[in-house]
Amino acid sequence: MTTQQLFKRLSLAQELSGGGCSSSAWTHTTQAGVMESHNPATGMPLARVYGCSDEDYDAMVTSLQQTHRSWRTVPAPKRGEVIRLIGKALREEKDALGSLISLEVGKIKAEGDGEVQEMIDMADFAVGLSRMLYGHTMHSERPEHRMYEQWHPLGVMGVITAFNFPVAVWAWNAFIAAVAGNTVLWKPSPKAPLCALAIQHLCNRVMEDAGYPGVFGLFTTDRVELAERMVGDERLPLISFTGSVPVGRHVAEVVGRRLGRSLLELSGNNAIIVDETADLDLATRAIVFGAVGTAGQRCTSTRRLIVQESQYEKLIPRLLSAYEQVTIGDPLQPHVMMGPLIDGEAVARYRSTLDVARKAGGEVLCGGRVLSRPGYFVEPTIVRAQNHWEIVQQETFAPILYVMTYRTLDEAIQMQNAVPQGLSSALFTTHLRHGEAFLSTAGSDCGIANINIGTSGAEIGGAFGGEKSTGGGREAGSDSWKAYMRRQTTTINWGTELPLAQGITFGRAEGGTHGASR
């Protein structure tokens, strides 16, 4: 399928004639700037997308508020049925959407298709969830009273996504938020506007056919001031942000000042520990996928490898051999295992990071070069390093793996935890006690802890997110739906008396006291 055919199938034109802002109908703003989407495998432009104006943004939020008033009254299972229809449409367009992701952000085709499958899985999860938005019932201390809690939607949810997962992270938030009765405003990364436009076209069509237009809204912009306005907008009770720690910290501060809610998915500095009992073939495959997949541009990418010193000389040759077999090139070609970085800035960070690592005393065991070809290609790199080095303490969005050794498991766990980030972690072991120690209270301090699988590739059913400077957010599974709803405790008096809690009486009562209950 040619690029032109792909765009036509996904309702995209090579030069958008109107604004990139929609809830059910598209705006026609052309004076708010233009974003140019590039193919990172060639460096060449793919299309130009008009940005949204301040007026577009205001109209969008107002429209989503109005839609929310009716959408929240639709029974949750009916809302789930609409999300099922979106999942069905995604299945029909999986190949085309996966190709678009590869084209615009450089993921290999298998990963592009996998991201669409993640959206499909998320839709299935949300459909089931629409019948399980449970609240607890509680026994009242007062006779002829019933207590329970229920959950209500918040309103218009703001979702800000990053380029590396241009559509899946939106689905994590949007599908759950929608079955919970919310409407959703999406600001995608300006590095991946075409993926967002394609999804919005699909949602518009499905929602219109189902009789519920305007539940999902999109606005594209590369203007910081408009994004800042979204974060500070009191009409958006929750902002879900995926990105860097500095920006996430700012989002939390701005949203916190207005007493809103923020759901943060920030940086990772994920480690795999390989102990003396580990299956090295299994570990090698996981390490390579975790460090090389998406060219190291996942928040869950494996960035540190902590190897028991007796295993180092056995494991490193296996890794070097595996890295030699990594094919780098056009991500749409079936034999390619690693595509490009997203842009020239990412390549510059790759270079500068390796320069700093070398100056600190790091030994480059393989890779380390920027490839001389069109696009933004680099070699996957392994560096012998020390965990405490400042550069190792930072997240670099590139295929750079730092390797170091340890003696005892306690030492390895301390090394793993001794970074600011706390997203994903893994231990390869066949030792039961080692595995349990890693998962114990004194073990991994990350939001995700795995045994004998890598740091990447989280499943939909488990809540995704991390601790410390990763932000503490949870999305995509378990009871993460509660983030998009407000809890209400309800007490019903079905008797004829008015007893107060804590045995308090109010007014004159023989043998009683004067006071007030909470």
Checking if the pLDDT of 25 tops 90, the result is: no
Tokens coding 494? 């079905």
Checking if the pLDDT of 510 tops 60, the result is: no
Which residues, at least 6 apart from 81, have a Cβ–Cβ distance to it below 8 Å?
A: 127, 130, 210
Strand partners, 50: 19, 34
Which residues, at least 6 apart from 254, have a Cβ–Cβ distance to it below 8 Å?
A: 228, 231, 232
pLDDT digit string (tens) for 455-500? 998 889 999 999 999 999 999 999 999 999 999 999 999 999 999 9
Concerning whether 265 is annotated as a catalytic residue, the answer is yes
Where in 59-182 does DSSP place strands (E)? 137-138, 145-153, 156-160
| 473 burial level (CB within 10 Å; 0-12, 13-18, 19+) | buried
Best-predicted range by mean pLDDT (16-30, 387-401, 504-518): 387-401
| Range 270-462 classified under CATH 3.40.309.10 | yes
Q: What is the pTM of this model?
A: 0.95
Q: Which of 112, 94, 92 is nearest to 104 (CA)?
A: 112
Checking if the pLDDT of 509 tops 70, the result is: no
Distance CA 397, CA 406 (A): 25
Percentage, residues of the chain above pLDDT 70: 97
Residue 387: the pLDDT is 98
Residue 87: the pLDDT is 98
- Cα Rg, the chain, nearest whole Å: 25
Residue 518: the pLDDT is 59
| Side chain identity, residue 505 | T
Tokens coding 329? 């090139």
Residue 319 region, left (φ>0) first, then alpha (ψ -120 to 50), else beta? alpha
Q: Are 154 and 482 a contacting pair, CB within 8 Å?
A: no
Strand partners, 158: 185, 239
Residue 491: the pLDDT is 97
* Mean pLDDT computed over 273-287: 98
pLDDT digit string (tens) for 239-248? 999 999 999 9
Selected catalytic residue, list 195, 299, 366, 446: 299
pLDDT digit string (tens) for 98-124? 999 999 999 999 999 999 999 999 999
Selected catalytic residue, list 111, 265, 395, 475: 265
Distance CA 293, CA 301 (A): 7
Concerning whether 446 is annotated as a catalytic residue, the answer is no
Task: Decide which of 3.90.180.10, 3.30.390.50, 1.10.3720.10, 3.40.605.10 is the CATH code for 3-266+475-481.
Answer: 3.40.605.10
Checking if the pLDDT of 301 tops 90, the result is: yes
pLDDT digit string (tens) for 128-168? 999 999 999 999 999 999 999 999 999 999 999 999 999 99
Tell me what the pLDDT averaged over the chain comes to: 95
pLDDT digit string (tens) for 186-197? 999 999 999 999
Strand partners, 33: none
Confidence of residue 384 (pLDDT cuts 50, 70, 90): very high
Q: Which of 271, 268, 269, 282 is nearest to 443 (CA)?
A: 271
Q: Where are the domains of the chain?
A: 3-266+475-481, 270-462
Checking if the pLDDT of 313 tops 90, the result is: yes
Query: Is 275 in a helix, a strand, or coil?
Result: coil
Q: Provide the H-helix boundaries in 72-108.
A: 76-92, 94-105
Angle at CA 192, nearest 5°, toward 292 and 30? 165
